[in-house]
Amino acid sequence: MTSLFAQEIRLTKRHEEIVSQRLMLLQQMENKFIDENKGNASQMQAAETAFKRNLSLLMDLEAAEKSLQTRIRPIPPPEVVSLETLYWASVEEYIPKWEQFLLGRAPYPIGVENENEVENTVQNEAQ
């Protein structure tokens, strides 16, 4: 009976050691899990910070590109500006005449009396 009692004491001590090791391992696992979560959180924060930085850089680049584009396009000489103004004035003057012609309400607007002459002119120019 003493040997059973001694064996029981030894098994109880071994059981306490195993339970102690189990608790220690559980604590280590919990600490590791907390550390990983902290690492993930810091990685998420770093990714968010990098995203904001990249977005800011992209906006700066677009602003710089617009600035450079305005510098690249030279201001045309006054003669060119004058010719452009005259051209658009001429276009605006002829729009109503062409509009009526294209809608079928008026004859060909530029100095030709009938459509047969227009077709002949167009065919001669094509050749």
> What is the rounded CA–CA span in Å between residue 41 and residue 33?
12
Largest CA distance in the chain: 136
Per-residue model confidence (pLDDT) at position 119:
60
Query: Domain boundaries in the chain?
Result: 1-73, 76-127
Q: What is the block-wise mean pLDDT of the chain (127 residues), using blocks of 10 residues?
A: 86 94 95 87 89 94 87 82 93 85 82 55 57
Cα atoms in the Cβ-side hemisphere of radius 13 Å centred on 70: 5
Q: Please give the model's pTM, rounded to 2 decimal places.
A: 0.36
> What is the rounded CA–CA span in Å between residue 57 and residue 18?
57
